[in-house]
A and B are shown apart, each in its own frame.
Chain A
Amino acid sequence: MSQYDLVIVGGGPAGLAAAVSAKDNGIEKILIIERDNELGGILNQCIHNGFGLHTFKEELTGPEYAGRFIEQVKERNIEYKLNTMVMDISADKVVTAMNRVDGMFQIEAKAIILAMGCRERSRGALNIPGYRPAGIYSAGTAQRLVNIEGYMPGHKVVILGSGDIGLIMARRMTLEGAEVQVVAELMPYSGGLKRNIVQCLDDFDIPLKLSHTVIDIEGKERVTGITIAEVGPDRKPIPGTEEHYDCDTLLLSCGLLPENELSKTAGVTLSNITSGPIVNDALETNIEGVFACGNVLHVHDLVDFVSEEASNAGKNAAKYIKEGKSKNSKNVQIHAVDGVRYTVPCTIRPDEMDDKVTIRFRVGQVFTDCSVATYFGDELINKRAKKIMAPGEMEQVILLKSKLAEYPDLKDITIKIEEA
């Protein structure tokens, strides 16, 4: 069995940034394993611009952003294997992988970083009635077809879900000559960025119908039409509000789910809110030496934050490889309540944390003129006013080691939304 200090599963932006940072922190034997035929992950198909404003202070397209990290990986001579699928990870950190050249092989790793990204919620998870004709695609699949394979999936399109990929695809298909008739969103707000609503829908006069869903799909061989209806506060269709559209294609853009089958079989504990691993401030899972970052941990909308998080995971993995198991230090729980859906990380180690730890979270609904409050035990430590917060945008709170040191008996931290 071959041996590596660090094995990284997934060669998307998370895996790449983690590898670069581990190398820069003194780790030599690193292997990135990627199942696709190139590095870069989902960014390869995101050909639109808007990436990297935070990291590089300029607006890049997805492939350009990935290209910068791929270059850094190559400059450092970090090893990677393409067209290779990781099949299994064991609790004692043996990675089993497979490809056409080597067949099935095993690697013993001192540390592992999970960077498998996420996949789209499928139609099965959405429960739309009707037949199962051709012409129904997830927005991400359509994106791959148009941008990488140069194939147009259809000409008259309805999109269900206003997540960013759906919005981006509304514009992309319009520019390629398709007629995008409507974007229907179940929720009373869009999950997509404002900028995308303006530049992908408003620019082309594509209507966005909030609180609407698809109630019927027509066509046996191929989609021929779609019926949408308005939904009430219970998210059930309201009779009499049905509208029919002739179309040959339905795109689904209904959210992403972290891809954690491997983590589960390895014995990693997952959060039932994010579907990603539960991690501490080092981004380490319940299995010692197994770290997670990027969309496999929780779904990110900005790749800049993925890179930042991943670089942290790489640094912490390097520390673990060099220094071994961390002292049995105390853990402080972070609770997400009153509008805060979850936090990453979920626990923090006051003795071993970095000087500054970023706690990222999402809110469960749209809040206006509210504030984010941080409590140590029952004591209010910080309150920050926000004009607006929406589920589509990730929020953050920064915790300082020096501040935690003032509370040696601290057991719980609570983050919640309060009135301003």
Chain B
Amino acid sequence: MEERHLTCIGCPMGCQLTVTMENGKVTNVTGNTCKRGDIYARKEVTNPTRIVTSSVRVKGGKIAMVSCKTKEDIPKGKIFDICNALESVEVDAPVEIGDILLRNVCDTGVDIVATKAVGCK
């Protein structure tokens, strides 16, 4: 049996959750005040995901960097790999919001898209 402690981010209450697990399966969640805490805890211990936001260099753009994000959630464990992969990316201006800057980043099946329009210099 294994216990994990989390803070629920569902609302400002920030309930302190305790998740009990057996062989990688959640057996119990305590400390939550509402159902949302339970759902959050189960997802967070079995398959935690995040949107990663960053910025990459633009060649010939009005500004030096264009902000970007993973189009969908990616596994939490891939955050650093993705940031490393973005370090070497450079795109050409102009860029529009939603343009794909990098396909299938780190084999997650998720694309990196621009979150800002950057015109040419």
Contact = CB atoms under 8 A, between A and B. Distances in A.
Tell whether A and B belong to one assembly: yes
A49 B7 contact: no
Contacts of A389: 12
Interface stretch (A191-199, A236-244, A399-407): A191-199
B1 interface: no
Question: How many A residues are at the interface, by size bracket?
Answer: 20 to 34
Interface stretch (A22-30, A147-155, A283-291, A412-420): A147-155
Interface string A168-182: 000000011000000
Interface stretch (A61-69, A92-100, A253-261, A350-358): A61-69
Contact of B115 (A63, A146, A199): A63
Nearest to A203: B76
A46 to B, nearest CB: 9
Contacts of B97: 63-64, 67
Nearest to A48: B53
Contact of A148 (B11, B13, B64): B64
Interface string B1-14: 00000111101111
A325 interface: no
Contact of A47 (B9, B76, B83, B115): B115
A202 interface: yes
Interface residues of B, number: 31
B36 to A, nearest CB: 13
A194 B8 CA distance: 8
A195 B53 CA distance: 16
B67 A199 contact: no
A63 B51 CA distance: 15
A388 interface: yes
Nearest to B79: A175
Interface string A118-162: 000000000000000000000000000011111000000000000
B13 A147 contact: no
B54 interface: yes
Contact of A149 (B53, B65, B83, B116): B65
A218 interface: no
A49 B51 contact: yes
Given A61-B67, A63-B115, 13 more contacts: A49-B53, A49-B69, A62-B67, A63-B97, A63-B116, A64-B115, A67-B116, A150-B64, A194-B7, A194-B9, A195-B9, A198-B7, A202-B7
